[in-house]
Structure 1
Amino acid sequence: MATREILPFLTWAGGKRWLINNHSELLPRDFNLYIEPFLGSGAVFFYLNPKKAILSDTNSDLIDTYIALQTNWQRVFKHLKTHQRLHSKEYYYKIRNLKPRKLETRAARFLYLNRTCFNGIYRVNKKGEFNVPIGSKQNVILDTDDFEEVAKRLQNTLILNNDYEAIIDKAVKDNFLFVDPPYTVNHNDNGFIQYNEKLFSWADQIRLCKALSRARERGVKIIVTNANHASVRQLYEQHGFSCEVINRYSGISSKPKGRKNFEEIIVKSNF
């Protein structure tokens, strides 16, 4: 199903390039619809290049960017080239404070900030305003950019800004659900997970697991990535899922000592 490689156009905390680079054999190849309710950078979607897909996320800025590239990537790229030409510290904060009205200008702003902010982190304040400071990277246009191919791969894709449960409930027999939620556990044990708890609570984890259990009963093929924590493993195993521990490296930290190997789990339904 996969054709030539295309890299995700976003830097995203928790992105799944490590999964496709090291454990692609875990992904099913035989399915009739790909569904991803926590989209992020879409690494697995772009790797599998499915014929039909439903992609969703609650981050409206993220979803607007995907829709803009799907419908008019040329205009997004034109604005992105302007950001490249004008990029500076003063310009960065000027763009960060703007709220563009047009879809393509919002998408170009989102991409610009993602590529030039500190560590590619997406974070907003209580008012929902992006507040990450400028980073050290200067390249707004990347050698790996292929927005025309991105647009082609998104053509037969329904892109939604919905709650994950509503998306999971759309899945039917022989669909493939790839689920990569924010990593929260029943007892938080690091700063990143504590930050995620504000966005995705343990109650959300339970609701997610129950929705996935219903989908499995409908014959849906499922893979979930999550934190390797006793509370998470117990939750999924109690609902009849199998869990496999995987090591992966995380480079997203402000301090070198924070960049290290972490254990995650791959939760699978039987397929």
Structure 2
Amino acid sequence: MSKNKLIIPFLKWVGGKRQLMPSIKENLPNDINKLNYFEPFIGGGAVFFDLQPKKGIINDFNSELINVYQTIKDNPEELIENLKLHINDSEYYYNIRSLDRSEDYNKLTNVEKASRIIYLNKTCYNGLYRVNNSGEFNSPFGRYKNPNIVNETVLKAVSNYLNKANIEIRNDDYADILLNIKKNSKSFVYLDPPYHPISETSNFTGYIQGGWDIFDQIRLKEVCDTLNDNNIKFLLSNSASQQIMDLYKDYNIEIVRANRFINSNPNNRGEVDEVLIKNYE
């Protein structure tokens, strides 16, 4: 299957990897095209859409996000028509945003729920997908003059790819995905978990209800150890925090520079150090 340049992320996502793709590609296994692909923290899918694997599993714990992927695969035309109904207006925006705070939300179809998330993502402040501890979307209106709410060409291209390739879309705990990969199978895992904060004030994991902490990072490292023991190749992205560097000291670590423009605190935007960690040469 040849790569289609129209297959690109359809959502703006915290920690998106589009600008880091050159560094990520340099660190991929040489036989990447022959391996089954697993991405358990799919997010905006920049790496996935760039590689366009023929077979694999994508997953995220965020059920709203996974519903968007599934809807694009199953009902692209209906989704596009629903997106055309939205308007770029502050009052309308807050009405749509508030739906997850009422019983009316449960009356929405999967298409309407997916359309809502795409609309909010395209029109909210700084493209910041953020939920509170109750799982309610809480980013303010962005006041863009002409947001691209209905990117019909991209949505159709992504839908076509998801239907032609052998891609399974899951909404599970990442460990349930990874610990079921067969030992010594020809598989590759790309991991882009919520980043560990460099400092207490920079902690931002608001796109996951409840957030992540160091114990989540330790659990992930233990799963990576199991992948390594099972001879499964993995590449992991994270912040260049000392805790992460210490945690993965037995693996190959490369520091890369990334520009981060999406953050709840404007002072935390800009060029930052991140790491790429892998268990192969």
Correspondence 1:170 to 2:180: yes
Please name the residue that 1:207 is paired with: 219
Aligned mates of 2:71, 2:116 — CA distance in 1: 12
Please name the residue that 1:91 is paired with: 92
Distance of aligned partners of 1:193 and 1:101 in 2 relative to their CA distance in 1, 3 Å threshold: closer
Distance of aligned partners of 1:118 and 1:140 in 2 relative to their CA distance in 1, 3 Å threshold: same
Please name the residue that 1:4 is paired with: 4
Distance of aligned partners of 1:208 and 1:255 in 2 relative to their CA distance in 1, 3 Å threshold: closer
Aligned-residue CA RMSD (Å) = 2.2
Please name the residue that 1:245 is paired with: 255
Correspondence 1:184 to 2:199: no
TM-score (norm 2): 0.87
Alignment of 1:109-188 (within 5 A): 109-137=116-144, 138-141=146-149, 145-155=153-163, 156-172=166-182, 173-185=185-197, 188=199
Distance of aligned partners of 1:15 and 1:54 in 2 relative to their CA distance in 1, 3 Å threshold: same
Q: 1:56·1:164 contact (CA, 8 Å) conserved in 2?
A: yes
Distance of aligned partners of 1:2 and 1:233 in 2 relative to their CA distance in 1, 3 Å threshold: farther
Distance of aligned partners of 1:194 and 1:125 in 2 relative to their CA distance in 1, 3 Å threshold: closer
Aligned mates of 2:71, 2:124 — CA distance in 1: 21
Amino acid of the structure 2 residue aligned with 1:52:
K
Aligned mates of 1:42, 1:243 — CA distance in 2: 22
Residue 126 of structure 1 aligns to a residue in which SS?
Answer: coil
Alignment of 1:62-101 (within 5 A): 62-83=65-86, 86-98=87-99, 99=105, 100-101=107-108
Give percent identity, aligned residues only: 36
TM-score (norm 1): 0.90
Gaps (5+ residues) in structure 2?
100-104
> Which is further off, 50-59 or 121-130?
121-130
Please name the residue that 1:46 is paired with: 49
Gaps (5+ residues) in structure 1?
none
Aligned mates of 1:77, 1:257 — CA distance in 2: 36
Offset of 1:126 from its aligned partner?
Answer: 2.7
Aligned mates of 1:196, 1:190 — CA distance in 2: 17
Distance of aligned partners of 1:228 and 1:196 in 2 relative to their CA distance in 1, 3 Å threshold: farther
Aligned residues: 266
Distance of aligned partners of 1:18 and 1:69 in 2 relative to their CA distance in 1, 3 Å threshold: same
Please name the residue that 2:16 is paired with: 15
Residue 204 of structure 1 aligns to a residue in which SS?
Answer: helix
